[in-house]
Chains A and B, each alone.
Chain A
Amino acid sequence: MTLADRIRDEGARLAAACTACGACVRACPMTAYVPAAMADISLTAFGMRDLLTGGVGNAPGLAWVAVCARSGVCSDACPEHLDAAFLLRLAQMRAKGALDEAPRIPVKEDTGFSARVKAFARLTLTEGEQAEWL
């Protein structure tokens, strides 16, 4: 199995179980930053669910998925007892184009990530620690 398989398989499984009722949207603290997501919570949930199976989603669903910060309260709110937080994470990965699809939300990738981590290591770790711990 690959990560792509996992994203595809779990996305399909969770999408099939999700009723797009919107309970996860209603519970989410991040909707304070995307008011459009709250206009019609079922539409927002529908758009998010659509992403899980490779669909294009919709504007409120994409806006909501883009601000997911992994608060996890959606899982407690789900009446189907789904791991909604994982479901959101998969939807966000699909929306970013993880499966070689066109990104549907902005991808903020830090291209200097690895070099920055190593630069800080040179500042805070001894040479011996860098050799053993990195």
Chain B
Amino acid sequence: MAMNSTPDAIFWYGCNMTRHGEVIRASARILEAVGVAAAPRGGPAACCGSPKDANARINGGMARRTVQAFNGSGAAAVITWCPSCHMNMQDSMAPVTPTNFETQHITEALWARRAVLAPLLTQAVPARVLVHGHLGFQGRVPINDLVPALLRLIPGVTVLDHPYRAPGHMCSALAGVPGALADCHRALLAVAEENRLDTLVTIFHSCHREAVALERHGLRVMNWIHLLAAAMGLPAEDAYKTWRNAQDARAAIGDERLTQAGETAFARLVEPELGQPPVV
């Protein structure tokens, strides 16, 4: 969906979601199916500025450019994915550069349209799941309630109510603190084992990219959008998970895609991440 026509909304997927193109694609299709024509926008050109937290001038410039682009699109709403983007929009972007759109998280947009969504979830997805919640962001958007509620609309899905919440707002915030992410993953594995669950469901992208390595412990890892897509019969193959857990990431990706990425960029920027050892 191009920005040269006025969309109902922008689906602001953030930056690091480009690892999970199928989640962006499926999210946009699910939104469209419930009546929201949302144009995906993200990447460095639509950044909230937080990667440059150490420099307010650069951070603020990136944020202002993003708000101005969204204002110029004519969209009445910006539907967010990333909790950092969402909070930064509320805390520092909109107060600095006035917006002419409302901001809503994708879980809120889908839950508000659950009467339309539920009949579309026709495919059973047998799974006993633990939703990987964090303490943060819940105060802004009741994400730890909305995701399980959406999953319970899917035939075959059983969601465990469990009080474990990881610190932080998503796993990228824990990754820089020695021991924190490993503690989180050990806790998730323990809860899954104690309750004989077969699937860990991530909410956010940064959690997903870290958690997919837990499949090496025999626990299936899916994002909540993967489950909704499966229930709707939409394709959403988790390529990142395959690459991250492959013995040979290059072979798993294939020559055609490697050529698209560019050998130098792949070797310098992608391959080291895919080859990282799991934290537990």
Contacts and interface: CB of A to CB of B under 8 A. Distances in A.
Contact of A122 (B56, B91, B176, B260): B260
Interface SS of chain B: helix
A93 interface: yes
Interface SS of chain A: helix
Nearest to A29: B167
Contact of B18 (A67, A72, A124): A124
A133 B54 contact: no
B136 A71 contact: yes
A39 B135 CA distance: 24
Contacts of B54: 93, 96-98, 103, 107, 109
A72 B90 CA distance: 15
Given A98-B59, A133-B41, A71 B168 contact: yes
Interface string A11-45: 00000000000000000011001000000000000
Given A3-B59, A119-B270, A124-B239, A69 B178 contact: no
Contacts of A134: 18, 42-46
A81 interface: no
Given A3-B96, A117-B43, A118-B43, A72 B135 contact: yes
A99 B92 CA distance: 15
A7 B41 contact: no
Contacts of B260: 122-123
Contact of A4 (B43, B60, B87): B60
Residue from B49, B135, B253, B268 with most neighbouring chain A CB atoms (10 Å): B135
Interface residues of B, number: 68
Contact of A119 (B15, B20, B174, B262): B262
Nearest to B98: A1
Contact of B91 (A89, A92, A97, A114): A89
Interface in B77-114: 83-84, 87, 91-92, 95-96
Contacts of B173: 69-70
B78 to A, nearest CB: 14
Contacts of A2: 56-57, 60, 96
A126 B268 CA distance: 22
A45 B155 CA distance: 49
